[in-house]
């Protein structure tokens, strides 16, 4: 008989009850986590782990690309940046280049931090001044 994992249940509940904005924030955070894990794998020469984590980061970037509303002008600019990030992740993977990962991590962090401000602003508009992310 399998035991229920309370942490897994909490994570599942967090995802299923999150707003679209919060889900996007989770994607950015996941991408950053995988980029950092890939960098650690490069340090330990664990090629398989590096590859696995960079593929996960690429899948997140691909998901972010799919969710863009291309009717919005900003989405066109973001698409170009996501394509660039995806290309650099592939390059970092093939070259095991931590400098490229550092560059990409910077871009994803900027997107995440900006998105976090958007989510906080949206909460404040919905619920008054008390919304914090």
Question: Would you give per-residue pLDDT tens digits along the chain (133 residues)?
Answer: 455 776 566 556 555 667 888 999 999 999 999 999 999 999 999 999 999 999 999 999 999 999 999 999 999 999 999 999 999 999 999 999 999 999 999 999 999 999 999 888 888 888 765 545 5
pLDDT for 42: 98
pLDDT for 16: 65
CA 45 to chain centre: 24
Report the C-alpha gap between 115 and 133 in whole angstroms.
10
pLDDT for 124: 85
pLDDT for 12: 60
Residue 91 to residues 66, 81, 85, 101, 102: CA-CA distances in angstroms?
21, 15, 10, 9, 13
Report the C-alpha gap between 85 and 31 in whole angstroms.
11
């Amino acid at each position: 008989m399998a035991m229920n994992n309370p942490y897994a249940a909490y994570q599942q509940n967090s995802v299923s009850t999150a707003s679209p904005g919060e889900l996007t924030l989770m994607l950015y955070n996941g991408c950053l986590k995988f980029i950092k894990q890939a960098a650690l794998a490069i340090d330990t020469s664990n090629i398989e782990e590096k590859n696995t984590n960079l593929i996960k980061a690429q899948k997140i970037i691909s998901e972010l690309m799919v969710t863009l509303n291309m009717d919005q002008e900003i989405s066109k600019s973001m698409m170009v940046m996501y394509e660039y990030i995806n290309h650099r992740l592939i390059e970092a993977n093939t070259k095991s280049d931590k400098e490229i990962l550092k560059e990409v991590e910077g871009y994803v962090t900027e997107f995440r931090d900006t998105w976090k401000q958007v989510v906080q602003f949206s909460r404040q508009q919905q619920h008054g001044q008390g919304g914090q992310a």
